[in-house]
Amino acid sequence: MLKMHDFITELYPICRSITGDGFRTTMRAIQQHIPLQLHEVPSGTPVFDWTVPKEWNIRDAWVKAPDGRKIIDFQQHNLHVVNYSVPVHEHLSLADLKPHLFTNPDYPDTIPYRTSYYKETWGFCLPHNQLLELEEGDYEVYIDSTLEDGSLTYGEYILPGETDEEVLISCHSCHPSLVNDNLSGIAVATSLAQRLAQQVRRRYTYRFVFIPGTIGSITWLALHEEVAPRIRHGLVITCVGDPGGVTYKKSRRDTAEIDRAVQQILCDSGEPHKIIDFFPYGYDERQYCSPGFNLPVGAFMRSQHGQFPEYHTSADNLDFVQQPYLEDSLEKLLAVIDVLETNCRYVNQNPKCEPQLGKRGLYGAIGGQSDKVIDQMAILWVLNFADGEHDLLDIAQRSGMRYELIRNAAEILAEHDLLKLRSR
C-alpha cells in the first residue's frame, strides 16, 4: 500500500497550479498507485459562468538585489512566485518593486502563498523580515513563465459498485509546495481509493476526482451535470495530516446521511473533534453545495483552513504533516465509508413484543444479573427501532451506542430472520 508521507515527500517540490505541467506531473505520480484517468479541458471552454483559463507553466524566477545576488529564487521555494505570474524581465527601483512583493507580517519568517489566476500580473512572495532588510537600489526581476492557450487537467478514478449510486471523493490538487493543504488530501484520497479497490463488495460506485480548486469543481460539474443526481454522498478531503483533531464541515443539507455518518464516527472515536455548519466559503464544497446542485457533500479536515498558523505559508511543510495523522484520517474515512455501505432501514419481522432471544442463543441464560448488557442492548435497540423508519445511524444516535455495535446486532438479527432489509 501507499506510504503516504513518502508520497507527499515525492510530490512536495513540484510547482502545481490550477493548470499546467505541475498539475499533470502530480496526476502521473498518482497513476503509479491507482489507475487514474486524465482529462484535458481546453482553455476557453465555457463552464457555467466561468471560462477555462489559459494554461500556466513556469521554469524559473528570481529577484536580484542591487549587488547582483539572487535574493528571491523560485528554485529555492516555489511559493516565492505569485502563482500564475506572467513573464517579466525588468530592472526596477525598490519603490516600484514593492507593489509586486507580498509578505505576511503576522508570520514574518514564512513565505506566504499568493495567486492571481484571473488578473494578469506578476509578483514575488517572501518573508516579511526579509522585506524589511531590502535596501534602495536597482533590482532585476525575472520570471520565465508562459500563460497561453492549453488546457485544464483533472484526474478521475471510478471504482464501480453494485449500483450506479455514487460516493464522490473530491480533492483539490493545485497547491504548489504546501503539504497539509493539500498534499495530505492527495495522499489520503489515493490511499482510500487503494483500500476501497481491495474490498470485495461495494454497494456504491466511488468516484475520486483530483481537480484544481474552484475552477476544477466548476469544470467537472459543468461536464458531469448528468452525474450529479446520482451522487448520494460526498466528501471534500484536505488538511488531513496535521496534529489537530478532525473538523467536519457539514453539507448545506445539514442532516444528510454523510453528515450523520461522519458525526457518528467522530463521536464513536471518543476523540476531540469539531462539527461545523456549512458556510459558503472554503473549498470545492462551495460548488457542490451551490443551490443549483445542493449535493450532500461535506468537508473532512483536521485543522480547518485559515485556522492554523502554518496555513498558506511555507511553514505548511513536510514536518508539519506526519504519517500517524495521515493514517488516522484514512482510518476514520474508511469507517465513514463503512457506515455508508452498511447503513440501511430494517423491518422487525416479529414486531409485536420482543422475540424470544434465548431460544436463538441471543440472550444470556441466567437472567437478573445486571443492567450492564452491552451487545444485548444493541440487539434490543435494533429490534425496537427497526420499524422501517429509522436507519441504523438513527438507532446508533438514539441509543448512544457505537455504530459498529448496532450494525453487528442488526446483522445477527437479520441472519436469524428477525429483520428484513427494507431499503438502503
- Residue 200 engages a copy of itself in binding (rule: CB under 8 A): no
Going from the C-alpha of 409 to that of each of 155, 297, 378, 396, the distances in angstroms are: 40, 29, 6, 11
CA angle 303, 307, 313 (to 5 degrees): 95
Q: Which of 71, 318, 377, 414 lies at the binding interface for a copy of itself (CB under 8 A)?
A: 377
Q: Which is nearer to a copy of itself, 25 or 290 (CB)?
A: 290
Please tell me the distance from the alpha carbon of residue 391 to that of residue 396, in angstroms, as a whole number.
9
Q: What is the CA radius of gyration of the chain?
A: 25
- Residue 415 engages a copy of itself in binding (rule: CB under 8 A): no
Q: Shortest gap between Cβ of 193 and a copy of itself (angstroms)?
A: 25
List, as one string, the DSSP characters of 287-313: HHTSTTT---EEEEESSPTTSSTTTTB
Site track 34-53 with a copy of itself (rule: CB under 8 A), x = hit:
-------------xxxx---
Instruction: Tell me if 79 sits within 8 A of 187, measured CB to CB.
Output: no
Please tell me the distance from the alpha carbon of residue 305 to that of residue 247, in angstroms, as a whole number.
10
Q: At 198, phi and psi to the nearest 5?
A: -80, -15
Stretch that binds a copy of itself, among 37-45, 114-122, 190-198, 240-248 (CB under 8 A): 114-122
Q: Which of 223, 380, 404, 408 lies at the binding interface for a copy of itself (CB under 8 A)?
A: 380
Q: Site residues for a copy of itself, window 355-374 (CB under 8 A)?
A: 355-356, 358-359, 365-371, 373
Instruction: Tell me if 130 sits within 8 A of 97, measured CB to CB.
Output: no
Q: Which is nearer to a copy of itself, 302 or 312 (CB)?
A: 312
Q: Which is nearer to a copy of itself, 131 or 334 (CB)?
A: 131
Q: Which is nearer to a copy of itself, 5 or 407 (CB)?
A: 407
Q: Which of 386, 392, 405, 412 lies at the binding interface for a copy of itself (CB under 8 A)?
A: 386
Q: Which is nearer to a copy of itself, 199 or 294 (CB)?
A: 294
**Closest to 126 measured CA to CA, from 146, 97, 154, 150:** 97
- Residue 280 engages a copy of itself in binding (rule: CB under 8 A): yes
Q: Which of 31, 57, 317, 350 lies at the binding interface for a copy of itself (CB under 8 A)?
A: 350
Q: Site residues for a copy of itself, window 1-20 (CB under 8 A)?
A: none
List, as one string, the DSSP characters of 184-247: IHHHHHHHHHHHHHH-S--SSEEEEEEE-TTHHHHHHHHHTTTTGGGEEEEEEE-S-SSSSPEE
Q: Shortest gap between Cβ of 348 and a copy of itself (angstroms)?
A: 6
**Closest to 233 measured CA to CA, from 284, 166, 185:** 166
Q: Which of 167, 399, 403, 412 lies at the binding interface for a copy of itself (CB under 8 A)?
A: 399
Q: Site residues for a copy of itself, window 304-343 (CB under 8 A)?
A: 305-306, 312
**Closest to 191 measured CA to CA, from 15, 23, 325:** 325
**Binding positions for a copy of itself, rule: CB under 8 A:** 47-50, 82, 102, 112-119, 121, 214, 217-218, 221-222, 225, 252, 279-281, 286-287, 289-294, 305-306, 312, 348, 350-356, 358-359, 365-371, 373, 377, 380-381, 383-387, 399
